[in-house]
């Protein structure tokens, strides 16, 4: 065994790259742009059952959603997609609306 043996490591000098702040403003701007992008994204994490029910009621009143009583589903008319759950329909509609809005913004 090498017990008691002293191991010498070479001295590593810190380069000036840590002291160079020339590109800090670019890095900061990239971070701000990423935060803005994240803020614009639709989040369904805050969509609780009560909010989902309110949204579905509004969609029913507007004619965007049609109930099919015999099959116990709600049909999202713009997409033709059927849902058994009000919450799933509300989450889908939020995402669908965001996608449509993003598509209109790109044109």
pLDDT in tens, 5-34: 666 666 655 555 566 666 777 887 888 777
Please give the pLDDT value at position 105: 45
Q: Where are the domains of the chain?
A: 47-107
Please give the pLDDT value at position 106: 46
DSSP the chain: --TTPPPP----PPPGGGT--TTHHHHHHHHHHHHHHHHHS---TT--HHHHHHHHHHHHHHTSEEEETTTTEEEETTTTEEES-HHHHHHHHHHHHHHHHHHHHH-
pLDDT in tens, 46-62: 778 888 899 999 999 99
Percent of the chain at pLDDT > 70 equals: 67
pTM (two decimals): 0.56
Mean pLDDT within 81-93: 92
């Amino acid at each position: 065994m090498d017990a008691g043996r002293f191991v010498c490591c070479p001295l590593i000098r810190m380069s000036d790259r840590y002291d160079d702040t020339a590109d800090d403003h670019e890095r900061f701007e990239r971070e701000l742009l990423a935060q803005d992008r994240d803020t614009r994204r639709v989040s369904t994490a805050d969509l609780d059952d009560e909010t989902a029910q309110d949204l579905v009621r509004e969609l029913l009143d507007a004619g965007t959603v049609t109930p099919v009583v015999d099959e116990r589903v709600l049909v999202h008319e713009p997409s033709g997609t059927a849902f058994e759950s009000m919450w799933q329909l509300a989450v889908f509609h939020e995402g669908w609306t965001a996608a449509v809005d993003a598509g209109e913004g790109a044109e």
